[in-house]
Structure 1
Amino acid sequence: MQKKHSLLEIAFASLKLGLTSFGGPVAHLGYFKEEYIDKRKWLDDKTYADIIALCQFLPGPASSQVGIAIGMLRGGLLGGIISWLGFTIPSVIILVLFASLYQSFSLEGAAWIASLKIVAVAVVAHAVIGLGKKLTPDRPRIAIALAAALLMLLFPSTITQLIIIGAGALVGFSMYAKQAVSKVQPFVISITKRQGIISIITLIVLLIGLPILAQSTTNDYIKITDIFFRVGSLVFGGGHVVLPLLEQEVVPTGMLSSGEFLAGYGMAQAVPGPLFTFAGYLGAMLTGVTGAIVATLAIFLPSFLLIIGALPFLGELRKRASFQGILTGVNASVVGILLAAFYDPVFTSAISSGVDFGLAAILFSLMHFWKTPAWLIVIIGVVLGTLLSFI
Structure 2
Amino acid sequence: MAATISQSEKSDSAFTIFKIFFSLGWVSFGGPAAHIGYFRSMFVEKRQWLADDNYAQIVALSQFLPGPGSSQVGFAIGYQRGGLIGGLMAFVGFTLPSVLMMLLLAVASSQLMDASYFQHAIHGLKLLAVVVVADATWGMYKNFCKQNLSVFVCITTAVALLLFPSISTQILVLLLAALLGMKWLPGKTSPSTLPMTLSVRPLLLFVALLFGLPLLASMAPVIQIFSDFYQAGSLVFGGGHVVLPLLQNIVGDQLSQDAFLTGYAAAQAVPGPMFTFATYLGYQLLPQAPIVGALVATLAVFLPGFLLLVGVLNNWRSLAQRAGVAGALNGVNASVVGLLIAALYQPVFVSAIFNAVDISLVLLGVTLMKQFKLPIVAMVIFFVGAGLFSPFLANLI
Say how many residue pairs are matched: 381
Matches within 5 A, 1:219-368: 219-251=220-252, 254-287=253-286, 288-368=290-370
Tell me how far apart the structure 2 counterparts of residues 380 and 105 of structure 1 sit (CA, whole Å).
Answer: 21
Deviation at 1:385, TM superposition (A): 2.5
What corresponds to 1:211 in structure 2? 214
Determine if contact 1:359/1:385 at 8 Å carries over to the other structure: no
3-state SS, counterpart of residue 322 of structure 1: coil
Does the aligned pair in 2 maintain the 1:10–1:83 contact within 8 Å? yes
**Which is further off, 62-71 or 380-389?**
380-389
SS of alignment partner, residue 66 of structure 2: coil
Please give the per-residue CA displacement for 1:207-261, whole angstroms capped at 9, x wherever unaligned: 11111222xx24111110111101111110001101121012112xx22111110
2:240 pairs with 1:200: no
Residues 348-382 of structure 1 show CA distances to partners (whole Å, capped at 9, x for unaligned) of 11000000000011111222222223332222111
CA contact (8 A) 1:193 1:309 kept: no
* Structure 2 CA distance for partners of 1:101 and 1:21, relative to 1, 3 Å: same
Within-5 A mapping of 1:129-168? 129-168=138-177
1:124 aligned to 2:133? yes
Q: 1:307 to 1:285 in 2, by over 3 A?
A: same
* Equivalent residues of 1:18, 1:88 under 8 A apart: yes
Deviations 1:169-212 (A, max 9, x none): 11111212xx321149988xxxx876711111111111111112
**Is the 8 Å Cα contact of residues 123 and 374 (structure 1) preserved in structure 2?**
no
How far does residue 155 in structure 1 lie from its aligned partner after superposition?
0.6
Partners of 1:47 and 1:185 within 8 A in 2: no
CA distance 1:304–1:7, change in 2 (3 Å): same
Residue 93 of structure 1 corresponds to 100
SS in 2 for 1:27: helix
**TM-score normalized by the length of structure 2:** 0.92
Residue number in structure 1 paired with 2:12? 5
One-letter amino acid of the counterpart of residue 205, structure 2: T
Aligned to 2:63: 56
Q: What residue identity is the alignment partner of 1:170?
A: L
Secondary structure of 2:350's counterpart equals: helix
2:181 matches 1:172: yes
Please say if residues 34 and 373 of structure 1, whose CA atoms lie closer than 8 Å, have aligned partners that are also in contact: no
Q: Percent identity?
A: 45
Query: What are the superposed Cα offsets for residues 264-284 of structure 1, whole Å, 9 maximum, x if unpaired?
Result: 011111100000011000000
Equivalent residues of 1:184, 1:318 under 8 A apart? no
Give the deviation of 1:345 after TM superposition.
1.2
3-state SS of paired residue (2:269): coil
Note closer, same or farther for the CA distance 1:51–1:185 as it changes in structure 2 (3 Å cut).
farther
Cα 1:222/1:195, change in 2 over 3 Å: farther
**Cα deviation per residue 1:124-167 (whole Å; 9 max; x = unaligned)?**
00000011111111111011000010111111111111111111
Question: How far apart, in 1, do the equivalents of 2:242 and 2:167 lie?
Answer: 8
For 1:170 and 1:193, the matched residues in 2 are separated by 21
Q: Distance in 1 between matches of 2:373 and 2:323?
A: 35
Q: 1:193 to 1:301 in 2, by over 3 A?
A: farther
- Provide the C-alpha distance between the structure 1 equivalents of 2:141 and 2:178, rounded to a whole number of angstroms: 17
* Separation in structure 2 between the aligned mates of residue 234 and residue 319 of structure 1, nearest angstrom: 30
Question: Residue type matched to 1:87 in 2?
Answer: F
Summarize the Cα distance change of 1:108–1:185 in structure 2 as closer, same or farther, 3 Å threshold.
Answer: farther
Structure 2 equivalent of residue 106 of structure 1 = 113
Query: 1:96-120 CA deviation, whole Å, 9 max, x = no partner?
Result: 1211221433346521011011110
**Measured at CA, do residues 248 and 184 of structure 1 come closer, stay the same or move farther in structure 2, by a change above 3 Å?**
farther
What is the CA–CA distance in structure 2 between the aligned matches of 1:339 and 1:108, rounded to whole Å? 33
Q: Distance in 2 between matches of 1:245 and 1:135?
A: 35
Q: Report the Cα distance in structure 2 between the residues aligned to 1:275 and 1:130, rounded to whole angstroms.
A: 25
Q: Is the 8 A contact 1:107 1:267 kept in 2?
A: no
Partner of 2:4: none
